[in-house]
Chains A and B, each alone.
Chain A
């Protein structure tokens, strides 16, 4: 089905989640990369040794969340925009998500934006906590948002109000 839709199913995403202990400890990266393609920048960019070296460049990246610091270098370098950082310990009711964003205008810090799912549907509201757009990111900016706990597995994009 994924090959027809390009939309990962809940099962596929849950399989990418790290262990309960890691999820309760702090931020971790989730790579929504499900197809073998010749690509490995996530592994070469990672300074924490959380993305194992590729034996074959076509391999699907394996994240060792024990080592992941949630730095989000992978979020910005991934040509497929498939890397996200999740922090379930952000607050009692909210989860923090760092996502790649290549659109203008950038959202404003502290603004409330639409939380979009993998099909671009509005599934709730997100608060913009941080906007990183420094030169090093080379236009793949990193937006940090917080969303209600119930929807954090669905939210992968934000929508700003139409001009």
Chain B
């Protein structure tokens, strides 16, 4: 204590005693009384007992508690960007503190005071000049402000909070060395910052290239009646699996509650995505914290500055002229033209989708051309909406990653259409130039394969094919029947053939709308020109099937049984003798006629199958032209981090420095594991997921035993549900298209895009002190 204050206190005590002498004597008497009656002894005993209690119980408990907290809860997790600036200067580590020992480092601010930084982070000084509201950052990163996490390269250990991180990052070492007073072990997780300007990001789940808003539509339910057995089977399997999973759940003994650290993962993914932009903002605005070293401009710099100012002034004036007077007119005109086209498209779409009755086939279900036109129109309807969505992206921070799949989808479809048109022009000009040759070829093909080959096949069947002794009369009858129809058909084709070059010319001309159009048209042409084969197939299948059914029931009669329709079973039946006789004779007759009918049926069934596979080939070609993930593939090659397919971690080897620094006061470094967080680029299999799914569906439908049975018994093979087959075609289109009014509103709502720099100034030399450039008077269009 200071001698002067001791003196003052002495004077005060002496004064008080003299002033209140009676009180002091009372106290003295009380003390004498207490000593005489043993109060002091009792107090001393109490103190001893309490001390014993304290030493025996409270101190061990406190020690144990501290050991528990420091030993077991001492895992510290530090996320550290790999591209952080390495220097030997002191700095403040800034980032997000997700929980006490779970920190996410964004950047290191050099040469600033930690408490000052903390204050400015809370008051939001760093984002005051940012183009967008910082609330979005806080919302996505899960905190209301950024935090000071610690210091780097600190000279002294005092004034450091125990939960702060002390980092030692020097220019020489690859990894920073981290220590923290509270931590007993450290996970140092290094991450690469994705560049939001380049639309890179990471995500826990693979990016969805298809539009995922397809629910179960009412039509879907109605048309899925036919494969209900398969669906039922699948449902049963699914139910079984669900039960198994449920059972497995009961086997878990301990239900562990996820800690805050476990739950922070989605937040951390967002923080990684934001990290680059935040770092930029912080480093740009670190000058607001206090005076920075400045230097005056030299004469030559002044000259350069005034020259650039003049040039910028002229450019800005020109830009303003353009953006205020010319641009709105052009824009309005464009929007009106767009709206007109949209209305026309709407009318076409209504025609294409018209159904006479719900459940009947619309035009687009019958014809590939109509479907192709419909897909193009739908795409055209969707583009403005997509474009508006993408434009809204500009009105926000670049790190908001929700619209990136939209971007990829939009440009993918644009690029595919452009490609389609380019290929179409080449194909179209070729077809138009050689239309006679192409028409000749097609006529030859038609004659050879759909007329002559069929005629030859039928004549072959009318003889004894491959030594089979068929019934000559029946074969001649059936063959003649088909041959007449073929003759009639070929004469029809002959009368049509002068028209063929014109049709080809038309197809060639249509291919200027894309190569998919002639393909679709050829597909339709194929189905029209092979109509006779289809009808032959239908007729022969019907005959064959009837015969099989009659044979079956006559076989029952032959055995003295019959099919009971009411109970759906085979009952015994007493037939009369004449019934049995006639039935048996008929059975024998039909049985011996069966091979003849069967070979004709097989002939046409095979022809029909060939045509179906040809059309399937055309459809595959169409789906490749319409929905090949070209843009995604290109992105995968150019910049894999734009197509995130998940994350993975890599444990790096920890190398402790063999020679400890002499001035190292952070040597009590806890055991550290260095982990590298990496982005997995989307695997190629996921990109073609839709194609695999379609192939799987087709295989399941056409290579199933049911279809084989149908083919063998001559029943009609049910065509695959078009909705299933073409789900690929519609995978990038919304289930419900936006109406004209919605489009009008979307196009006309102005998006408030804050433009900090209204015009990109070309080639401006960098000024060291951030000299005032006239960027303020560029008018923003609103």
Q: Do A and B come from one complex?
A: no
